[in-house]
Amino acid sequence: MRIVVIGQAAFGEQVLKRLLEKGYEVAGVSAPPHPAGGKPEPLRALAESKGLPVFGTADLRKADVFAAYAALKPDLNVMAFVTDILRENVLTAPRLGTIQYHPSLLPRHRGASAMNWAIIQGDKRTGLTVFWVDKGIDTGAVLLQKEVEITADDTLGTLYFNKLFAMGVEALEESVALVAAGRAPRVAQDESKATYEPICTEEHGKIEWGKPATEVYNRIRGCNPAPGAYTTYKGAALKIFDCTLAKDAAQGKSPGTITAVTEKGFSVALRGGTLQVARVQAKGFAKATGGEYAKSAGLQAGDTLGG
């Protein structure tokens, strides 16, 4: 079975590495170009080191590049973290079709920011889906799913890197094995349970201090590390990253009010709790501890964020 791996970054690199280690025939790879003056693109770099044919993913829209890809006569495309929109001729060229990894339990959280929204919306569980790609956005039949818990202090970063990254590599390998054995399921998604959210951008990271404590905390966790939840202090933008939620409410303090400042960080009053902030980033500056920022910005107990 001849496979073309389409993807990017460390995830795509690890998927290719695993498939090669397991002895699968990888006919070629599609990945973005190396950035000018930056670190090599991981998937492309590994493919080149193995002497595999490599195509730019966006370039597959060009007739000559598509022809070279099709000439590989792939049996299966394996999509491992793809952000480019692929044309239907690429998806249907392989004899067996195209499978893709998605970091949610489809049909819930379709879209490119599935992990962000699972945390922001307070889901207790999520997971991954490997599905057969069709014309829609994450709408294809399900091949395989695996579930994980979203703990109270998980962030976008911990959910992906500590839970869904390695599990995703294993799931794609398992899926390829099922396809090779002719035993890969095709379970239609239940459209009545489908949700779709937009790409989570900075506009979605605005902290509304008047919301209940858990909603504020979920938004910050779901935007950590990207795009970063933000507020303002004295009119200047301030992103909040690492923090914890204490259930004890600051009596008599309005939401967004600074209740304490220490060398390590600062605390903010919420509706039904207190946010203990450990790491922030002021616009135009590097990330810093909450304590370092408070000292440099003159942040004191009694000050208000977001005003």
Q: pLDDT-based confidence at 49, cuts 50/70/90?
A: very high
How far is 126 from 244, CA to CA, in rounded Å?
Answer: 21
Pairing of strands 98-102, 76-80: parallel
Residue 274 lies in domain = 205-297
Residue 198 located in a structural domain: no
Asked if residue 7 and residue 109 are part of one domain, the reply reads yes
| Contact (Cβ atoms closer than 8 angstroms) between residue 110 and residue 142 | no
Task: Using the 3D structure, point to which of 193, 214, 247 is the last residue of a domain.
Answer: 193
Which pLDDT score is estimated for 161? 98
- What pairs with residue 25 in β-bridges? 2
Residue 256 located in a structural domain: yes
Asked if residue 155 and residue 34 are part of one domain, the reply reads yes
Task: Using the 3D structure, point to which of 193, 213, 240 is the last residue of a domain.
Answer: 193
Statement: residue 210 has pLDDT above 80: yes
Q: pLDDT-based confidence at 248, cuts 50/70/90?
A: confident
Torsion of CA 129, 159, 288, 275, to 10 degrees: 120
Statement: residue 125 has pLDDT above 90: yes
Asked if residue 141 and residue 59 are part of one domain, the reply reads yes
pLDDT, tens digit, 9 for 90 and up, residues 73-84:
999 999 999 999
Residue 111 located in a structural domain: yes
Asked if residue 122 and residue 10 are part of one domain, the reply reads yes
Asked if residue 227 and residue 177 are part of one domain, the reply reads no
Asked if residue 239 and residue 108 are part of one domain, the reply reads no
The CATH number of residue 121's host domain is: 3.40.50.170
Task: Using the 3D structure, point to which of 159, 193, 227 is the last residue of a domain.
Answer: 193
Asked if residue 217 and residue 147 are part of one domain, the reply reads no
Which pLDDT score is estimated for 252? 79
Asked if residue 269 and residue 132 are part of one domain, the reply reads no
Asked if residue 221 and residue 112 are part of one domain, the reply reads no
Asked if residue 218 and residue 177 are part of one domain, the reply reads no
Statement: residue 226 has pLDDT above 80: yes
Which pLDDT score is estimated for 109? 98
Residue 262 located in a structural domain: yes
Q: Answer with the residue of higher pLDDT: 307 or 243.
A: 243
Q: pLDDT-based confidence at 38, cuts 50/70/90?
A: confident
Asked if residue 49 and residue 183 are part of one domain, the reply reads yes
Number of domains present in the structure of the chain = 2
Q: pLDDT-based confidence at 133, cuts 50/70/90?
A: very high
Residue 214 located in a structural domain: yes
Q: pLDDT-based confidence at 189, cuts 50/70/90?
A: very high
How far is 204 from 232, CA to CA, in rounded Å?
Answer: 15
Asked if residue 274 and residue 148 are part of one domain, the reply reads no
